């Protein structure tokens, strides 16, 4: 595979460009070199990664318009975005909340924002959540014990789309529901001694990691709204404790793999919060900066010569569907975006300002 430039900042956009399918409409991307079909997730990863590097500025007006129209074409009347190539299959069966259309939609709204557009149809899917008492009942029904990390995805997806409907679609009911959600979260299942939610055994490094992974999905709901993270100092203690001997943040919780070979999810789920803590408290600042400096070489070690990244070294990975799969040590679009985003937060916290962020709820609104 042809390399693009000598530095990772040059090679990564080159890998993303290699995943783009030629022809029109512009903006169709495959997931990995072993794939041939486009996927909506991959189109979003491309827009978000290229935006971090300022690479979207090179688009022509026609290319930008085609890409926006392509993304908009996946929106249904309820406001959610669904990719028919994967819908109803694998992880995407039914309307699951941790990784279904709501999860995909959280990616599309960021990609649209990066491209300078807004979702055309209102998020009517949120109406049942904005009814009186509905969000409290829904939250109470979630799993706060066994699978709090999956609950983290569910709450983030709903909360992110509520924030988007409030800020981008003038939905006042969504705004009030966000306030109710955050107030409920601060008084239910949150341990003030740890700053984490749920009831996992935090003396077990895998359960502690899973608890932090859950909280990573909750905390952006506060930080996007510029609210202080509850019990931030106790949370910092727990997140710092997730760093492993290699500098990453995995302890073998993904698929039972060997300890310390951390995934893209495990790494960003601790690194991004540590970066945000620096702006909220002086507590353990030197420890946090040292942890971030130690983490950077590990994150970079997951980059390939083609500029793409792997989800986890020496393991194949499938993101819930065969067209979102990559082989052993094969670069792929999801880890390329997520590890690039991880580096963007990490480097920004350490004083590097060469990344681009856009204010949109979810994963990529900057520090």
169-202 pLDDT, tens per residue?
999 999 999 999 999 999 999 999 999 999 888 9
**DSSP letters of 164-232?**
HHHHHS--HHHHHHHHHHHHHHHHSSEETTTTEES---TTSHHHHHHHHHHHHHHHHHHHHTT-PPTTH
- Band of the pLDDT at 89, cuts 50, 70, 90? confident
For residue 2, the model assigns a pLDDT of 35
For residue 251, the model assigns a pLDDT of 76
pTM of the shown model: 0.94
Average pLDDT in the 73-78 region? 98
In this model, does residue 63 exceed pLDDT 60?
yes
In this model, does residue 1 exceed pLDDT 50?
no
Distance from C-alpha of 243 to C-alpha of 158, rounded to nearest angstrom: 29
In this model, does residue 259 exceed pLDDT 70?
no
For residue 71, the model assigns a pLDDT of 98
Out of 188-192, 255-259, 357-361, least confident range: 255-259
Q: Is 63:363 a contact under the CB 8 Å cutoff?
A: no
In this model, does residue 224 exceed pLDDT 60?
yes
Question: 318: part of which helix (H) or strand (E)?
Answer: strand 317-318
For residue 223, the model assigns a pLDDT of 97
For residue 261, the model assigns a pLDDT of 83
Q: In sequence order, what are the residues at sequence separation of 6 or more whose Cβ sits closer than 8 angstroms to the Cβ of residue 226?
A: none
């Amino acid at each position: 595979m042809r390399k693009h430039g000598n530095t990772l900042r040059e090679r990564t956009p080159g890998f993303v460009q290699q995943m783009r399918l030629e022809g029109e409409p512009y903006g169709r991307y495959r997931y990995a070199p072993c794939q041939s079909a486009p996927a909506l997730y991959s189109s979003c990863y491309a827009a978000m990664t290229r935006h971090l590097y300022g690479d979207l500025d090179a688009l022509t007006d026609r290319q930008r318009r085609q890409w926006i129209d392509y993304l908009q074409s996946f929106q249904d009347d309820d406001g959610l975005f669904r990719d028919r190539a994967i819908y109803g299959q694998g992880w995407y069966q039914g309307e699951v909340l941790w990784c279904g259309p709501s999860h995909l939609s959280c990616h599309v709204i960021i990609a649209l924002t990066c491209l300078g557009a807004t979702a055309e149809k209102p998020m009517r899917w949120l109406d049942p959540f904005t009814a009186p008492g509905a969000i409290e009942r829904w939250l109470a029904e979630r799993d706060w014990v066994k699978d709090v990390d999956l609950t983290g995805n569910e709450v983030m997806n709903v909360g992110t789309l509520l924030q988007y409907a409030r800020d981008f679609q003038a939905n006042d009911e969504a705004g009030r529901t966000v306030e109710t959600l955050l107030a409920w979260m601060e008084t239910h299942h949150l341990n003030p001694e740890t700053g984490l939610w749920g009831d996992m055994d935090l003396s077990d490094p895998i359960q502690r990691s899973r608890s932090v992974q859950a909280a990573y999905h909750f905390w952006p709901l506060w930080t996007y709204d510029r609210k202080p993270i509850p019990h931030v100092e106790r949370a910092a203690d727990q997140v710092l404790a997730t760093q492993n001997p290699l500098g990453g943040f995995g302890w073998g919780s993904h698929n039972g793999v060997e300890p310390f070979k951390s995934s893209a999810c495990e790494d960003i789920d601790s690194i991004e919060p540590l970066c945000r803590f620096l702006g909220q408290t002086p507590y353990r600042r030197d420890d946090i900066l040292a942890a971030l400096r130690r983490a950077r070489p590990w994150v970079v070690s997951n980059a390939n010569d083609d500029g793409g990244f792997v989800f986890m070294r020496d393991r194949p990975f499938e993101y819930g569907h065969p067209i979102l799969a990559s082989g052993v040590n094969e670069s792929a679009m999801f880890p390329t975006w997520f590890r690039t985003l991880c580096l963007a937060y990490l480097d920004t916290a350490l004083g590097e300002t060469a990344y681009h962020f856009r204010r949109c709820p979810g994963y990529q609104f900057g520090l």
